[in-house]
Structure formats: structure tokens, C-alpha cells
Amino acid sequence: MKLAITGGTPQFETQLERRFGRCAYFIIVDTETRAWESFPNPAAEARGGAGTQAAQFLANQGVEAVVSGDFGPNAFTALDAASIQMYSAQEGQAETLVDDFLAERLARVTGSTGLAHHGGGRSQGGRRR
Amino acid sequence: MILTVASGKGGTGKTTVATSLALAIADISPVLLDCDVEAPNAHIFLQPQFDQRREIGLPIPEVDEVRCTGCGRCAEVCQYHAIVVMGGKVLVFPELCHGCGSCTLQCPEGAITEVANLLGVLEAGPAKDGIHFAQGVLNVGEPMAVPVIRELKQWHPFPEGHTIIRDAPPGNSCPVVETIQGSDFVLLVTEPTPFGLHDLRLAIQLTQELDIPAGVLINRDGIGDDGVEEYCRKSGIPILMRIPLDQRIGKAVARGEALVEAFPEYLPQFRELYAQIQSLIDSRLEDALPQAMGPRPSDGAKAGRL
């Protein structure tokens, strides 16, 4: 199956990036052959809706499962609609996370784990009272 | 005249100043618009009787599943990623949608229609001393304040021709930009502290970017340091009024009393403030007249900004 891991750099040795929607790269691995490819996340710099855009990208790639740190409510809803299974990890290299995934050592995510941010580009616009 | 009371930093006294200014010039029946739609509170001080109400919505897409082929064009054209297509099924995220209508226009099957997503309400009515009052109230949990502010500005439940005072939200982000746009003058309320100065500088940059004249009111004068004063002197921003730190004022405001009602001795100062703002706007208009007919030779450098 096709497994995506959110990474900070485009190598198989990359450390897990805990933000799903705004990770720099997706490492997409074929869990049978361990063949892998990395893709820059098109949503990394999105003004808003990073979670939904990233989810759409993975769905278009035919990904069936994804490992990250946190999944916001919009990302969760979109990934869930695409029947992409979500797994959460604290840290680790993409390479070793594949083993963890295969050995069923990762926690399955069944609900949103983070808050919606409504756009990194607007983060300065938060209320300052 | 349209005058916006803004601040940058929150909690400096925007509403205290806006409501007292409105009361001070109540003889000319000003309009007060509370544009802080996430937490409007000017009504506490001016006690309007709301007799007009309008609901504000954004047009969001609704997909006819029978006609939809799941082609994904809507998701491709959405700049806000408010719509995704997963396995041929369309999912709409209303809180991300800006209501631009691109998906509806681009759908090759004509499967998308627009329905209203309620964002909040506008309310208006007469307030104390003949002040015309209106406010926007954004629904709780709704992130999009700008459309509500835009509608509030365009709403005219009152007779035309009155001075308008807009009470802005805190910060320097989109809702503040929307509130300030179209004003003749921005009164920036600050406190003389490093925090006040930091946000005041951003607010001044914003007014300069929008090319709207600004002046400063220092609230809680006497605390902090000279930073605000020095900055205003250097950048040529006039300090129009000062309100000293006075616990009695804080207590009165906390009881829901307007500053000039609790302390009528401030009335002349607010009237003077209004007169000063009016003359600053007038002198700017006079300055602008010759320039409108072509740059004066001595003004070559400045003319570049036009």
C-alpha cells in the first residue's frame, strides 16, 4: 500500500514533521517494495486551507495511509472522506516510521488531534486583547 | 466626515474614546458604528434601542450530487481550499469559503448552486442623546469578520450626512484594514508603554499605506516611558489628546459608564479633539487641491506618492 509520511526534508532519512497541513515534504512509500519518492507539499505556504489542500494532494496520489503528528479538524474530515487512514507519531525518521507502521506500533487517529488554524498567513491577525 | 478610532494594541481604550467622543458631539447626532464585530461592546455605554436588524451571509457552494461527475474542477479553482473532491465525492468546508463564486462559475456540469451561510447580524437603532448606533455581531466560532464589517459600513439605516465614528477592532489585520478603509481620519488610541508603541507603529504604517491621515490619543498618560511621544515627534504624527491614568476612570468604565458621563469635565477636551480632527482634515483637503491640478515644482519628491 501507499503510505505517506510528513517530513521536514525530501530524504527517506528525514525527521517526522508533526504538522500535517504545513509539512515541507511528503515521503510516499510503497510498503511492499519500500520504494519511496518525495513530493514538496503544495499546501506548505497556503494562505488558508492547508489541511484540506494537503489532503486533496494525498488523495490524488492514491495514498491509503498517512503518518504525521497532528491532524486538524478540516484535514481529518477530508482525509477521512478519502478513506485515508491516519496515524500519529511523536518523532522518528521516515525510514523507521515505515517499520513502526508495518509492526502496528503507531497509534491510529480516529478524531481530530489539533485545532483549526484557518490559515498560517493570517496568524498575525489573531485577536490581541 | 468618517472618523475611525483604532489602536493596534487591544485594551487601550478605543471604545472609551469612541463612545465619549460621540456623546461629546451628540448635538450633531453622529453615527457610531461598532465594527469590532467579534466582541462589540460600545452598546454598553450608549444603550441603543435596536429597531432594525439584517442578517449577513456569504454565498457558499451546494453541490447537486446527481449532476456532479466528480471531475475535481471546483477543488482546483478554489483559492481557499474550501472544497475538496475525494473519490468522486465533493466536500465543502464553509468556514474556509470566502464566497468568491469561482467553483460555481467553473463547474462544467452546472452542478453547483450558492446558498447563504449565515455569518452574523447587523443591528441599528437610536442610542443615548440622539446618537445613531449600529453594530455588527459575528456568530461565535465564525472566523470571517471582514464580510460583516463591509456590510455594516455599507448599511445606511440612518439619514445621510451625519458624522460617522467607527470603533475598530484591535490589531492590524484584515478586519482593521476593512474598518479603516474609506475613512477621512484615523484616531489611534495608545498607551505610553513599549507594548503600546510596538503596535502603534504597525497601525501608523497601515494608515500611511492606506494614505489616510492619523493622530494619536495617549490614554493612561503618566505610565510607561517616553517611547510613544518620541516616536510621534519624529514621524510627525500629532498627539491630539491625553487622558491620565486614573483609577476612578477605570472603575466608572467597568460599571458601564461612559467616560464623559462619569467625568463631564472631559467634555470640552473631546469637543476640542473633534474640532482639531476636523481642521486637520480640512487643511489636508486644501493641500491636496493644487496637487490635484498637477505637482508643484517644489513638491517633486512628494508628488511621486500620488
pLDDT at residue A117 in the model: 61
Residue A44 has pLDDT above 90, yes or no: yes
The verdict on a CB contact (< 8 Å) between B86 and A56 is yes
Amino acid identity at B207: T
Q: Do A81 and B87 touch (CB under 8 A)?
A: yes
Q: Is the separation of the CB atoms in B28 and B208 below 8 Å?
A: no
Q: Which of A49, A81, A82 is the closest to B96 by Cβ?
A: A49
Place of cell 459575528: B138
**Predicted local confidence at residue B48, as pLDDT:** 98
Q: Say which residue, A123 or B288, is predicted with more confidence.
A: B288
- B173 vs A: CB within 8 A: yes
- Domain B2-55+120-288: which CATH class? alpha beta
Chain A residues in contact with B82 by the CB 8 A cut-off are 49, 52
> What are the residues whose beta carbons fall under 8 Å from the beta carbon of A111, sequence distance 6 or more?
A76
- pLDDT value at residue B144: 87
Q: Per CB distance under 8 Å, which residues of A are interface residues toward B?
A: 43, 46-50, 52-53, 55-56, 59, 74, 77-78, 81-83, 116, 118, 122, 124-129
Cα–Cα dist B295/B274, whole Å: 31
Backbone angles phi and psi of A49, in degrees to 5: 70, 30
Residue A116 with chain B: CB contacts under 8 Å: 95
* B80 interfacial to chain A (CB closer than 8 Å): yes
Q: What is the pLDDT of residues A51-82, one digit of tens each?
A: 999 999 999 999 999 999 999 999 999 999 99
In this complex, the residue of B39, B93, B172 whose CB is nearest that of residue A52 is B93
**Which grid coordinates are listed for B156?**
445606511
**pLDDT greater at residue A127 or residue A113:** A113
How far is C-alpha A106 from the chain's CA centre? 14
Nearest Cα residue to B14 out of B145, B204, B190:
B190
d(CA A56, nearest CA chain B) in Å: 6
A48 contacts B96? CB cut-off 8 A: yes
* B32, B131 contact by CB (below 8 A): yes
Is the pLDDT reported for residue A10 higher than 70?
A: yes
Chain B residue with Cα closest to A128 = B10
Q: What is the ipTM metric for this complex?
A: 0.81
CB contact under 8 A, B81 and A116: no
Q: For residue A127, is it left (φ>0), alpha (ψ between -120 and 50) or beta?
A: beta
The closest CB to that of A129, out of B10, B86, B174, belongs to B10
* pLDDT reported for residue A126: 36
- Closest residue of A to B86, CA-based? A82
Q: Between 3.30.70.20, 3.40.50.300, 3.40.50.1260, 3.90.1150.10, what CATH number should domain B65-110 receive?
A: 3.30.70.20
Cβ contact A128–B9 (<8 Å): yes
Query: pLDDT at position B87, please?
Result: 85
Cβ contact, residue pair B93, A77, below 8 Å: yes
Q: Does B81 touch chain A (CB under 8 A)?
A: yes
Cβ distance of B84 and A52 shorter than 8 Å = yes
Range list of β-strands (E), chain B: 2-6, 31-34, 52-63, 83-86, 89-92, 112-126, 132-138, 164-167, 185-190, 214-221, 239-244
Q: Which of A22, A41, A52 to mutate to test the interface with B (most CBs of B within 10 A)?
A: A52
Closest chain A residue to B71, measured at CA: A60
Q: Could you tell me the pTM of the whole model? A: 0.76
The residue to which cell 486644501 is assigned: B286
Block means of pLDDT (10 residues each) for chain B, length 306 residues? Answer: 95 97 97 97 98 94 95 94 92 91 96 94 97 96 91 92 97 95 97 96 96 97 96 96 97 97 98 97 82 48 39
Place of cell 476612570: B249
The domain ranges of chain B are 2-55+120-288, 65-110
Query: How many Cβ contacts (< 8 angstroms) between chains A and B?
Result: 79
* pLDDT on residue A112: 83
Nearest 5°: CA angle at B273, between B268 and B279? 125
Of B78, B82, B86, the CB nearest to A81: B86
Break chain A into its structural domains and give their ranges. Answer: 2-116
Look at A113 and B196; give whichever has higher pLDDT: B196
- What pLDDT is stored for residue A124 in this prediction? 34
Superfamily grouping for domain A2-116: Dinitrogenase iron-molybdenum cofactor biosynthesis domain (3.30.420.130)
Give the SS3 label for residue A109: strand
